[in-house]
């Protein structure tokens, strides 16, 4: 298994991520690279809630489970990716980031988490 903390720090260095985390689907933090002035518990619980809401909506439409969510704000983009049945990976990056490259790195984290 990869070092999750190191992988999340790498997202900050390579993609200027302002926050990233691996968390359980019910919002418990597994690993994170989040600034000290951010309430990490609130951030992770709300990310899990968003993925949970998307899962419920997809279920109602009989579409299967969502794999990836993208949330756009004025200057940033949040990517939330399912990591198996029990976890998700989140990263918040500035606009202009190469999303395909980011998703490739996030998916390597997802693969490691899904295997454990």
Beta strands of 3-116 (E only): which ranges?
Answer: 19-24, 29-33, 68-72, 76-83, 87-94
Among candidate residues 92, 76, 23, 19, the one with its CA nearest the CA of residue 51: 23
pLDDT of residue 115: 74
Residue with tokens 């999340």: 8
pLDDT at 56 over 60: yes
Span 62-98, pLDDT tens digits: 998 899 999 999 999 999 999 988 999 999 999 999 9
pTM of the predicted structure, to 2 decimals: 0.93
Domains of the chain: 4-115 (3.30.450.30)
**DSSP state string for 68-101:** EEEEE-SSEEEEEEEETTTEEEEEEEETTS-HHH
């Amino acid at each position: 298994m990869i070092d999750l903390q190191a992988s999340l720090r790498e997202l900050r260095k390579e993609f200027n991520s302002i926050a990233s985390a691996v968390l359980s689907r019910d919002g418990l933090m597994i690993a994170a690279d989040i600034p000290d002035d951010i309430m990490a518990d609130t951030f992770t619980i709300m990310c899990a809630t968003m993925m949970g809401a998307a899962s419920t909506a997809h279920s109602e439409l009989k579409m299967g489970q969502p794999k990836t969510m993208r949330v756009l704000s004025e200057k940033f983009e949040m990517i939330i990716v399912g990591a198996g049945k029990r976890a998700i990976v989140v990263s918040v990056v500035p606009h202009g980031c190469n999303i395909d490259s980011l998703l490739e790195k996030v998916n390597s984290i997802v693969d490691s988490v899904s295997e454990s």
